[in-house]
Amino acid sequence: MTQLATIRLKYLVEICSFVMNRRASTLKQSVYPIIIFICLFNTLSSFLSNSIADGTGDYPAPIQGDWIIANDTYVSDEIIIINGNLTVVENATLTLDNVVLIMNSSRGGITGIEVDGGSRLNIYDSNITANRHAYYFAVWGNMTMERSTISRIAGGIFTYFGDVYIANSTVFDSTEYGIICYGTAVIFNNTIHSNYGGVVSFSGSPLLYNNTITKNEIGVSCLWGGYVTLIGNEISNNTSSGIIGEWVYMDVRNNTIASNDGFGIWGHGAKINATNNQIYGNSKWGIYSLDIRADHNDNIFEKDGRRNGAGNVLLEWEIFIQIYNSKNDPVDGVNLTIWDQHGKMVWSNETLNNFRVVRLREYEIDSSNTEIIYTPFIFRTAKGFMSNYTTVDISDKKPITLILDSQPASSRPKTELPYWGRMVIWGIWLFILLLVVVRMITVKIKKKS
């Protein structure tokens, strides 16, 4: 008897017990729906039984407890309910072909699927889900998954350092990420949606090619090292950013990154190479880079009138600023004011002890594709009778040391005020001079008359 037949028998027995235990007063009200349900269930079960379930190796799965695959096992055209863990041990292979696999866990994330190092899991045209609580899915070894649907995972599909290929499949409804990469997984032509994050790489080097990653909170996260390649994907309509990266290399080519409620691409310490992408309709910047220069070439930032909300490209640096006097003693509680090269004050506050960390823009490309360069910056330090002005070109993350000493006004830089400020002052003086001249002429005319 196959597991499917056993399950059918079990549920029929439960239904019959339910009918027999009903009180006579309520049986009349409930008997007809129950009879209809039994008929439908038998019809469906008979149909499924006519699909010839097939299996070899460690098949069938046990009704209760863990299913341990220690020998090469093949299962096709079957519905399997696991009331424990599914583990493929080292040197074994499990192949699921046209299988519905239901993880029946009493507590979320406690039971799940584990593919040990040196083993292999093959999934073709199958559906893996849970009927009660989310299950974990960890692939330490190798896995090939094609044309399948995976849902209700606790955390995501963890892929480590084996040979992993996921193609033409759908991954959704995870408690966290759809797919988690620590190694070199190839993720091709999938739809990954309705998770917290679509795909995340932790120090891995996965290839994401031609996927649709949508309706997650974050589309793709690339974190803490590795080399992530994204080619030809559609990353759109995520409720936060499309792609984020921290301290990682990201090769982003020929993607559509659109309509995300955040940044198109966001990087902190991430080396971004963005080429030939369509990046439009995101609510913040198309490409944002902090503390490292992004390479961006031949990208399209507008389509059908849809632009990025804040602008196309922004490069900023977090600069550590420390202040000493000429004797190299730290000076605490200094008033620090910073202007960009256009004369706009961009920061003003006191230092914490003798230092402050300030985020400054080097350049941006706005929504009309106009480049605006903000560096060099003018730094004014002041405390009591001491003050100083320093001009600094900000184009990297090097810390800045400013010297604060008393300084006579004549020695202050001519750039104390921005150009427009000096012009206003000159205009006021000229106007006053003109009034004086007019007054003198008027007095002379009155005396002659």
The pLDDT tens digits for 162-176 are 999 999 999 999 999
Q: Are residues 357 and 438 in the same domain?
A: no
Tens-digit pLDDT profile for residues 8-46: 444 343 334 433 343 333 333 443 343 334 333 443 443
Query: Is 125 a domain residue?
Result: yes
Residue 258 in this model has a pLDDT that exceeds 90:
yes
| Range scoring the smallest mean pLDDT among 8-12, 164-168, 286-290, 292-296 | 8-12
pTM value is 0.81
Query: Is 67 a domain residue?
Result: no
Query: Is 243 a domain residue?
Result: yes
pLDDT score at 211: 98
* Enclosing domain of residue 35: 3-48
Q: Are residues 133 and 232 in the same domain?
A: yes
pLDDT score at 25: 38
Q: Are residues 189 and 106 in the same domain?
A: yes
Residue 60 in this model has a pLDDT that exceeds 50:
yes
- Distance between CA 265 and CA 140 in Å, rounded? 30
Residue 430 in this model has a pLDDT that exceeds 80:
yes
Q: What is the mean pLDDT of residues 306-335?
A: 96
CA 333 distance to own-chain centroid: 38
- Distance between CA 277 and CA 234 in Å, rounded? 10
Find out whether 111 and 138 touch, Cβ atoms under 8 Å.
Answer: no
Kindly report the average pLDDT of the chain as a whole number: 87
Q: What is the mean pLDDT of residues 114-131?
A: 97
Q: Are residues 310 and 394 in the same domain?
A: no
Beta strands in 226-283 (DSSP E): 227-231, 234-236, 243-246, 249-253, 256-258, 265-268, 271-275, 278-280
Q: Which residue has the tokens 């009591």?
A: 384
pLDDT score at 445: 76
Q: Are residues 102 and 141 in the same domain?
A: yes
Percent of the chain with pLDDT strictly greater than 70: 84
pLDDT score at 22: 37
Query: Is 71 a domain residue?
Result: no
pLDDT class of 1 with cuts at 50, 70, 90: very low
Q: What is the mean pLDDT of residues 424-434?
A: 84
Q: Are residues 285 and 205 in the same domain?
A: yes
pLDDT score at 336: 97
The encoded tokens of residue 69 equal 């695959």
Handedness of CA 370, 376, 381, 386 (dihedral sign): negative
Beta strands in 293-440 (DSSP E): 295-297, 302-303, 306-307, 311-324, 335-339, 345-350, 355-365, 371-373, 377-383, 386-392, 400-403
Q: Are residues 441 and 395 in the same domain?
A: no
Instruction: Write out the DSSP string of 394-418.
Output: -SS---EEEE-----GGGS-GGGS-
pLDDT score at 85: 96
Q: Are residues 307 and 385 in the same domain?
A: no
pLDDT score at 419: 64
Q: Are residues 234 and 326 in the same domain?
A: no
Tens-digit pLDDT profile for residues 380-427: 999 988 899 999 999 999 999 999 975 543 344 444 566 667 777 888
Q: What is the mean pLDDT of residues 247-253?
A: 98
Between 326 and 293, residue with greater pLDDT: 293
Of 299, 314, 329, the domain-final residue: 314
Using H for helix, E for strand and C for coil, what is the string for 61-119? CCCCCCEEECCCEEEEEEEEEECCCEEECCCCEEEEEEEEEEECCCCCCCCEEEECCCC
pLDDT class of 110 with cuts at 50, 70, 90: confident
Query: Is 187 a domain residue?
Result: yes
Find out whether 284 and 308 touch, Cβ atoms under 8 Å.
Answer: yes
pLDDT score at 41: 41
Q: What is the mean pLDDT of residues 89-108?
A: 93
Closest CA to 322 of 390, 384, 385, 376: 390
Q: Are residues 294 and 206 in the same domain?
A: yes
Could you tell me which residues are beta bridge partners of residue 433?
Answer: none
Q: Are residues 271 and 159 in the same domain?
A: yes
pLDDT score at 434: 84
- Structural element, H or E, at residue 123: strand 120-124
> How many domains does the chain fold into?
4
| Range scoring the smallest mean pLDDT among 72-81, 216-225, 301-310, 379-388 | 379-388
Q: Are residues 400 and 445 in the same domain?
A: no
